[in-house]
Copies of this chain bind each other. A is one copy, B any other.
Amino acid sequence: MAVGDANLAFNPVPGVRLGSMPCGIKANAVHDLVMFEFAPGSVSAAVFTKSLFAAAPVIVGKQHLNQASPRYFLINSGNANAATGEAGVADSITCCKALSQLSGTRPEEILPFSTGVIGERLPVARITDALHELLPTLAEDNWLQAAQGIMTTDTRPKIATRQVAMGDGQVTITGIAKGAGMIQPNMATLLTYIATDALISQPHLQALLDTAVNKSFNRITVDSDTSTNDSCLVTATGKSGVEIAPDSPHWQKFYDQLESLMIELAQGIIRDAEGATKFIAVQVNNGASQRDCLNIAYAIANSPLMKTALFASDANWGRIAMAIGKADVDIDISKLDVSIGDARLMTAGGRDENYNESMGAAAMAGEEVVITVGLNAGEFCETVWTSDLSHEYVRINAEYRT
């Protein structure tokens, strides 16, 4: 189940090569080991989960990022190496050391990533034994294989790409993401890897990532559950020669492309959310603060009663009122407007006098639903994207061991 069609087009990024293969962590010889290689001189920006149980690879990855610019990412699916304590940290380091020996780099130039079952030890030997076969698979056009290799309960790969002229040159940005459940990222998302051939310093790249993540991956929720392994990285190889800096003419243009690509990937996760039959945007407009807007948007987006009503295509405005009512905000409900699509359900805090059930049914009929809440109290606006709560969601999560 997934909402809409996925666009799988992409452009390779000069200076980036990818490899993937099955190493036996997942069953049926599915690809479960993925590698990125970046040209010397590349810089990486990153955001990671704020979970107290941040996984071992997150702990190791942060340390390595403080010591060096990454040359390789080593990613496995099928096992999250999370809640595995000191032993898990040692396991991640062992994998990095094995790759550093084979590739002639230092261990701190390698970032490890894992996704899958939480609480099980990583099968380290399967990974290290596979590395000599993985390295020869590296190629510039392996993005789609890599997107497939990092999947867990995803039903399809997520990939997005941008290519724009900047001055005399051209900049490419391409990214992949995975994630379908345990999704309410907090300053990051599940696994997202973006690369560009722009020439940009690490602090500038980090600043753009920090801004864009709050417009994209930090605005999605499947189930209100935050993963232990959330990681989002952007790496710039500089190969295009197009310089991006705050005082350059391309700064805003580059940011806009990066943000739009990250929104596309984030929305791609929601469109493929566990059991999703609908893609829902919750827009809260004209609030007195960002906090008011976000609290109300997440109260609606995470309400199980709202999500089951969406699954049933029921324009249940009583449940929207309930969800707004429980949000921890101080608003004047007599100023509140609520619409689903073009249908105005509520005006000035009460049922709109022109509203009828058939308007609501029509607004809910499609796969894409926009719920708009107007607070009429200020200038802040926020949008959160979410999925519905279906029988399939329960089946997946009752049967699958994360």
Q: Which chain A residues have a beta carbon within 8 Å of chain B's beta carbons?
A: 49, 51-54, 80, 82-87, 117-120, 181-182, 184, 186, 223-228, 302-305, 308-309, 311-312, 314, 316-319, 321-327, 329, 331, 333, 346, 349-351, 389-391, 393-395, 397-399, 401-402
Contact = CB atoms under 8 A, between A and B. Distances in A.
B119 A51 contact: no
Contacts of A326: 51-52, 184, 186, 225-226
Contact of A323 (B49, B120, B225, B321): B225
B309 A53 contact: no
Contacts of A319: 118, 402
Nearest to A186: B326
Given A224-B304, A319-B118, A312 B398 contact: yes
A320 B349 CA distance: 39
Contacts of A51: 322, 325-326
Q: Which of A309, A311, A318, A399 has the most CB of B within 10 A?
A: A318
Assembly stoichiometry (copies): 2
A162 to B, nearest CB: 32
Contacts of A119: 317-318, 321, 351
15 contacts: A52-B327, A53-B324, A83-B349, A85-B350, A86-B350, A120-B318, A224-B224, A224-B302, A228-B321, A304-B393, A308-B394, A314-B401, A318-B401, A318-B402, A322-B402
Contacts of A318: 80, 82-83, 117-120, 401-402
Nearest to A348: B85
Given A119-B318, A223-B304, A318-B401, 14 more contacts: A49-B325, A52-B324, A52-B329, A82-B321, A83-B351, A87-B350, A182-B305, A186-B326, A224-B224, A226-B322, A305-B397, A311-B398, A391-B394, A393-B394
B322 A53 contact: yes
Contact of A226 (B184, B325, B349, B402): B325
Nearest to A120: B318
B398 A321 contact: no
A350 B84 contact: yes
Contacts of A54: 325
Contacts of A322: 51, 53, 82, 118, 182, 225-228, 402
B53 A325 contact: yes
Q: Which of A118, A227, A302 has the most CB of B within 10 A?
A: A118
Nearest to A392: B394
A82 B350 CA distance: 10
Contacts of A223: 303-305
Nearest to A323: B225
A19 B326 CA distance: 33
A207 to B, nearest CB: 26
Given A316-B402, A317-B119, A397-B309, A225 B52 contact: no
